[in-house]
Amino acid sequence: MYYEVQLKKTNVLDLNGNKIKEIELPVIFSYPVRKDLIRRAFHAEFTASLQPKGRDPMAGKRTTAYSFGINLGLARVPRIRTSGEAALAPNTVGGRATFPPTTMEKIVERINEKEKKLAVISALSATADKYFVALRGHRATFDVLPIVVSDDFANLGKAKDVLEALERLKVSEELERVRNGIRIRAGKGKMRGRKYKVPVGPLIVAHDVKKLLPAARNIPGVDVIDPMLVSVIHLAPGGHPGRLTVFTESSIGVLNKRLGGVL
């Protein structure tokens, strides 16, 4: 079944936030937003990064303990002969776990390659929809979405230059929301190198990230990604579409070349 798709248009801005020209976005930005597909693709990519965890098969079993039997006025748990101390059983100190995790457990969800690409296209389409961007809680005074900036943006090599450019693109309110939302994690993760929880901020998709990536990596909430590597993990964190995204003009063409043939 074929239906006519009305292509979206957006403005290309310079580093000062002024309109240079208007361009027509590829059809990948007009695809219906499929929340179910995005959620499924997110789980597939997220679980693929998990490391299988298990227990040593002999954990809690390295002992000489055995049950003394019945009619002794003692519980029939395995005991060490010299001391009478209970061991080995799950309800004893130092005993084996009842149902320990195993590396044989299936933790990865599978998804077809075409479905994954359609999910990325759907997540890209959500970045061009004000409803989904606002639904995620992003705060920015944007007129037209997505935010497309000239290729000069990729040549910024200092964090202060990136911050100034983002402020001129009217993303300063979003950056302030991220800074105010940083909090200390409630748990043992504080001792394991992840003390702070930082809200998800704007995503920058640039055709060249050699200079931009080291410049923006210390800005809270901001992520930089190459258009050939962008996925649902970046566009829809947590499986929720509509992340506030800034594209360079050339990255739009790279995305269309990569994903345009799927539709």
Residue 105 is given by DSSP the state S
Among 65, 130, 116, 50, residue whose Cα is nearest residue 95: 65
Query: d(Cα 221, Cα 177) in Å, to the nearest integer?
Result: 10
Q: What is the pLDDT of residue 85?
A: 94
Yes or no: say if 211 and 157 are a contact pair by the CB < 8 Å rule: yes
Sequence spans of domains, the chain: 9-50+110-262, 56-107
Q: What is the pLDDT of residue 143?
A: 79
Q: What is the percent of the chain with per-residue pLDDT over 90, rounded to a whole number? A: 90
Q: Which residues of the chain have pLDDT under 70?
A: 1-4
Express each pLDDT in 184-221 by its tens digit. 999 999 999 999 999 999 999 999 999 999 999 999 99
Write out the E strands in the chain: 9-13, 19-24, 147-149, 183-184, 196-197, 203-205, 223-225, 245-248
For 252: left if phi > 0, alpha if psi spans -120 to 50, otherwise beta; the answer is alpha
Superfamily of domain 9-50+110-262 in the CATH hierarchy:
Ribosomal protein L4/L1 (3.40.1370.10)
